[in-house]
């Protein structure tokens, strides 16, 4: 039988081993990332509170600071790849915006110290500033100029040339990611992703794009929509497959704070009232975080169909698994769960149901 002194030594060695393991893991994570610094001035009232938000590997990082004298600020962190930073302030300027008002948005890069100078009249544009040492930001501004071209033919041609010329840049990878989010030009996205250099194929964003493509393949017309289960406004769990039995059903991703979503309510109500008794139903999946606002919006808009949510915003488990990153977004399913249409707007839903159910 081992004595207590021996047991104590083993226990202490185990604790010591855990400390070493944690240190090694922390060192490995830090080594995988590189520091960045963003500092300079923002032209606003002294001592104003500003919020900084960016993501590292899909996980949000928030930093709130109080401006120093003459609007000076400094934030720093660790990132693995070029990263988009939102700089916001409490919203007192746009009644249509829910949450903070984004004043600036810019790109920072690993291993860089960026000097930032926010200009006067910052409310006129989110890029009304200068920033040093950010090649990603330089490309972003060039892309925005192309996006604003009025000649549609020239715009398409110039954008295509831009993507080809900068195929080795992280910014083009971000453009492809945005196209995937909007379900645009999927064949183009596949082609350009396949030709990207190895250093980009090892990034989080590249792998995310590949995952999104796989999900979108499974959400194409004719595919079976994945089953899911979430809680209703009374915290009772509901499964899509149970609601869907023998019905055509619209899976509608929305939120109380989403103006375009709320604008679709009259069209959804018209379709529901006309075709519910003929075998049509709706399940609204809310990307809200505030339960009271969610329920209030349902009552205000007179939405009498099924509603579910886990109240995690864009981290909603269903939306996240399907890479739903913009709303409104919807899928029309037949009684077997097969997708027969998606992202239907306005009177199109009523027209389509008329063809199917009349």
> What's the pLDDT at 124?
60
| 263 and 324, same domain (yes or no) | yes
List the one residue out of 246, 311, 260, 247 whose CA is nearest residue 285: 311
Tally of domains in the chain:
3
- 286, two tokens: 């809310």
Q: Is 333 inside a domain boundary?
A: yes
Q: Is 281 inside a domain boundary?
A: yes
| 143 and 65, same domain (yes or no) | no
Write the CATH number for 127: 2.60.40
| 57 and 103, same domain (yes or no) | yes
Three-state DSSP class for residue 251: strand
Q: Is 11 inside a domain boundary?
A: no
Which of 157, 187, 218 is at the close of a domain?
218
> What's the pLDDT at 210?
94
- 10, two tokens: 């083993």
Q: Is 293 inside a domain boundary?
A: yes
- Give the pairing of strands 329-333 and 339-342: antiparallel
| 305 and 339, same domain (yes or no) | yes
Structural domain containing residue 147: 138-218
| 231 and 330, same domain (yes or no) | yes
Which of 87, 114, 131 is at the close of a domain?
131
> What's the pLDDT at 182?
81
| 231 and 304, same domain (yes or no) | yes
Cβ neighbors of 56 (< 8 A, separation 6 or more) are: 33, 77, 78, 79, 80, 83
Three-state DSSP class for residue 324: coil
> What's the pLDDT at 3?
46
Q: How far, in Å, are 210, 317, 332, 333, 337 from residue 310 at the CA level?
A: 26, 7, 22, 22, 22
What is the residue-level pLDDT of the chain in tens, covering all 358 positions?
Answer: 444 344 344 444 444 444 444 444 444 444 578 999 999 998 766 567 899 999 999 888 999 998 888 889 999 999 999 999 999 888 777 766 667 888 899 999 999 999 999 876 666 666 789 999 999 999 999 999 998 898 999 999 999 999 999 999 999 999 999 999 888 888 999 999 999 999 999 999 999 999 999 888 888 899 999 999 999 999 999 999 999 888 999 999 999 999 999 999 999 999 999 999 999 999 999 999 999 999 999 999 999 999 999 999 988 999 988 988 789 999 999 999 999 999 999 999 999 999 999 8
Q: Is 29 inside a domain boundary?
A: no
Q: Is 24 inside a domain boundary?
A: no
- Give pLDDT tens digits for 247-257: 999 999 999 99
Which of 218, 237, 263 is at the close of a domain?
218
| 342 and 293, same domain (yes or no) | yes
CB 350 within 8 A of CB 358: no
> What's the pLDDT at 91?
76
């Amino acid at each position: 039988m081992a004595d207590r002194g021996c047991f104590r030594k083993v226990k202490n060695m185990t604790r010591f081993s855990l400390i070493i393991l944690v240190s090694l893991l922390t060192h490995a994570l830090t080594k995988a990332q590189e520091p960045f610094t963003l500092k300079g001035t923002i032209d606003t009232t002294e001592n104003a509170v500003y919020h900084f938000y960016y993501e590292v590997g899909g996980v949000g990082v928030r930093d709130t600071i109080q401006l120093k004298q003459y609007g000076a600020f400094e934030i720093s962190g660790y990132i693995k790849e070029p990263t988009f930073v939102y700089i916001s302030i409490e919203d007192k300027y746009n009644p249509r915006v829910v949450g903070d008002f984004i004043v600036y948005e810019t790109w920072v890069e690993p291993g860089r110290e960026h000097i930032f100078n926010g200009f006067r009249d910052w409310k006129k544009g989110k890029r009304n500033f200068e920033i040093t040492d950010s090649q990603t930001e330089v490309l972003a501004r060039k892309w925005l100029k192309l996006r604003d071209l009025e000649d549609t033919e020239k715009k398409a041609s110039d954008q295509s040339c831009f993507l080809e010329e900068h195929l080795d840049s992280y910014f083009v990878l971000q453009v492809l990611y945005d196209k995937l989010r909007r379900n645009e030009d999927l064949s183009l996205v596949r082609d350009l992703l396949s030709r990207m250099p190895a250093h980009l194929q090892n990034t989080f964003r590249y792998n995310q794009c590949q995952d999104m493509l796989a999900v979108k393949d499974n959400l194409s017309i004719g595919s079976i929509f994945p089953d899911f289960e979430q809680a209703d406004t009374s915290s009772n769990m509901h499964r899509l497959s149970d609601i869907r039995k023998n019905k055509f059903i619209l899976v509608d991703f929305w939120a109380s704070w989403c103006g375009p979503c709320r604008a679709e309510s009259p069209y959804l109500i018209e379709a529901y009232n006309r075709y519910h008794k003929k075998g049509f139903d709706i399940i609204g999946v809310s990307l809200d975080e505030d339960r009271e606002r969610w329920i209030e919006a349902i009552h205000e808009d007179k939405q009498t169909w099924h509603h579910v949510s886990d109240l995690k915003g864009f981290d909603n488990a269903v939306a996240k698994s399907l890479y739903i990153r913009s709303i409104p977004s919807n899928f029309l399913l037949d009684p077997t769960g097969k997708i027969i249409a998606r992202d239907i707007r306005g009177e199109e839903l009523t027209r389509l149901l008329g063809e199917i159910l009349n």
